């Protein structure tokens, strides 16, 4: 009896069979599948955020299918196959964990992080084949903006281009807000405003890094809070036979505040229940 992974790979092979495969699957290439791969990764993060292990199992399966899909297309081109992908990541893990699979002694997570980055830097130099290497090489362009900003900042910090504490970051944040205000007051065009807003968001990502917070996770939580509270507004108005279009901003603000109070009360009840 074949293993589940072998069965999955066979299903993928049949989906891409030129004669009997699925027309949609046959039309796809790396570029068209990439957005689905990114989407599935976010679905995994969403299931984790909701602490839904049943959904997590399903979403991890969907993400694994994306890996199998890419590997099948690469195999058809004679580039590599699924086994090559698995072997490559296994070798990478062995190489980057000499304290587990070798003789190196590392006592804490902070030291391990520095060792990991040093090994990655060495790998980048080796891959450059004598060409000029930047400390910023290898940071994917397709990453979400806030995530990529943090990665750029972390790489620069490795060579000392960073503030020692969080206070200068707050000062820079105030500076960027003021610059955006000035551009807006001066009637700057959309391109200029976008540039200033980008600078502001980059500093926000830097602040998150200094606070040890994942800015993408923080924003996802804020999105969830907004959605939860706005749905409360919609439900409450619907109970009155009304809709947001029928309500004033003041009325909706009051219902928003009510939603926040209910959330705090529910949080307090959970905390008491856990004692």
Boundaries of every domain in the chain: 4-95, 97-127, 145-213, 217-273
**CATH class held by domain 4-95:** mainly alpha
Query: pTM (2 decimals)?
Result: 0.67
Q: How far apart are CA 88 and CA 130, in angstroms?
A: 23
Q: Residue 246 carries which DSSP code?
A: G
The pLDDT of residue 102 is above 90: no
User: Shortest CA distance to 42 belongs to which of 127, 117, 143, 114?
Assistant: 143
> According to the model, what pLDDT value does residue 139 have?
87
pLDDT bucket at 165, cuts 50 / 70 / 90: very high
Mean pLDDT check: name the lowest of 19-28, 156-165, 170-179, 265-274: 265-274
The pLDDT of residue 104 is above 90: no
Fold agreement between 4-95 and 145-213: yes
- The answer to whether residues 47 and 55 touch, using CB atoms and an 8 Å cutoff, is yes
- pLDDT averaged over the chain? 91
> According to the model, what pLDDT value does residue 109 have?
79
Q: How far apart are the first and last CA of the chain?
A: 49
> According to the model, what pLDDT value does residue 117 have?
77
As a CATH number, domain 145-213 is: 1.10.287.1080
- What's the mean pLDDT in 251-255? 96
């Amino acid at each position: 009896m074949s293993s589940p992974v072998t069965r999955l790979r066979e299903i993928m092979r049949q989906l891409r069979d030129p004669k009997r495969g699925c027309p949609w699957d046959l039309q796809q290439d790396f570029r068209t599948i990439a957005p689905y791969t990114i989407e599935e990764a976010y679905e995994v993060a969403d299931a984790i955020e909701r602490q839904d292990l049943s959904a997590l199992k399903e979403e991890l399966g969907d993400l694994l299918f994306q890996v199998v899909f890419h590997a099948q297309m690469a195999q058809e081109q004679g580039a590599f196959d699924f086994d090559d992908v698995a072997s490559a990541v296994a070798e990478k893990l062995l190489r980057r964990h000499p304290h587990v699979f070798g003789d190196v002694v590392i006592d804490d997570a902070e030291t391990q992080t520095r060792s990991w980055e040093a090994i990655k830097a060495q790998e980048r130099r080796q891959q450059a084949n004598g060409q000029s290497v930047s400390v910023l090489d290898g940071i994917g362009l397709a990453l979400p903006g806030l995530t990529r900003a943090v990665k750029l900042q972390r790489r620069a910090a490795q060579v000392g281009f960073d503030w020692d504490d969080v206070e200068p970051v707050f000062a820079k944040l105030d500076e960027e807000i003021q610059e955006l205000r000035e551009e807006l007051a001066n009637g700057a065009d959309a391109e200029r405003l976008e540039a200033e807003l980008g600078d502001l968001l980059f500093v926000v990502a830097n602040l998150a890094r200094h606070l040890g917070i994942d800015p993408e996770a923080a924003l996802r939580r804020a999105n969830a809070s907004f959605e939860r509270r706005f749905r409360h507004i919609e439900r409450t108005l619907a109970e009155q036979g009304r809709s947001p279009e029928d309500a004033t901003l003041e009325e909706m603000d009051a219902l928003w505040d009510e939603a926040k109070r209910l959330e705090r009360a529910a949080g307090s009840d959970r905390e008491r229940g856990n004692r």
